[in-house]
Amino acid sequence: MPSRLIRPPSVPAILKALKAAGTEKKRASAIRVGIPMDKAFGVSVGTVRAIAKPLRGQHALAAPLWKTGIHEARLLAIFVADPEQMSRSAIERWLDDVVSWDLCDHLCGDLASRRADAADLVRRWIKSPKLYIKRAAFALIATLAVHSKDLDDELFAELAGLVVEHSDDARPHVRQAASWALRSIGKRDAANRDRALSAAAELAESAEPAKRWVGRDAMRELESLIKVRQRGRPLTSRSKTGRKQARYAAR
């Protein structure tokens, strides 16, 4: 396992393990999906997670790993950092350094979403003109919709409203995340599906091209959602499980 290479768990040892795990195939794959590899080893996310597993709880490693500027080291920093030990300003400094959509999404999904002030971060970031800070707001909404079971519908009504209000950004990495946010809200349950569909329909009729794109993109999946037996969340009928359920219901 990669973790056995890290003795002791120092930053130089970790970087050595990451470098050894890198492949040209992974570098090429990352470049194809728009992830810069100029300061990277070419290590899969799964391998980085495996390296991170025995380092959980060693928050002190996070900041120096991030400072290396190496893509996989920054991903590892996100995985080992304790979100409650980081100040909001520290998280925002990291976010300001981000230059790829994948680090943006992992920072939201594995770090910011685990903070008590996650919804406040959305409200703050969604007003930013900066590419990955704006995307982070939408990515954080999507993550909260999927994983935060204790949040109430009133909050998601507000978040859906924020998506509608701030979806006027034509940059692909922003508008794609805005659609993702709406689709994720819609998958929480039937009430949120209706809420997300209403928001998407409003956007689809907008005079602004970026908003129309978000609305129409989100509606394609939201309109296909069905209730699946023994699952709390709706599922798209285009998925394998959804197709099976649709065939069962048609009998």
**Contact between 77 and 62 (Cβ < 8 Å):** yes
Q: Among candidates 235, 234, 144, 226, which has minimal Cα distance to 181?
A: 144
For 33-75, write each residue's pLDDT tens digit. Answer: 999 999 999 999 999 999 999 998 899 999 999 999 999 999 9
> Partners of 225 in the beta sheet?
236
Residues 15 and 9: their CA atoms lie apart, in Å, by: 10
Residues 211 and 224: their CA atoms lie apart, in Å, by: 20
How is the chain split into domains, by residue range?
Answer: 1-82, 87-226
Q: What is the pLDDT of residue 233?
A: 58
For 103-151, write each residue's pLDDT tens digit. Answer: 999 999 999 999 999 999 999 999 999 999 999 999 999 999 999 888 8
DSSP 152: -
144: its two tokens: 């909260």
0.85 exceeded by pTM: yes
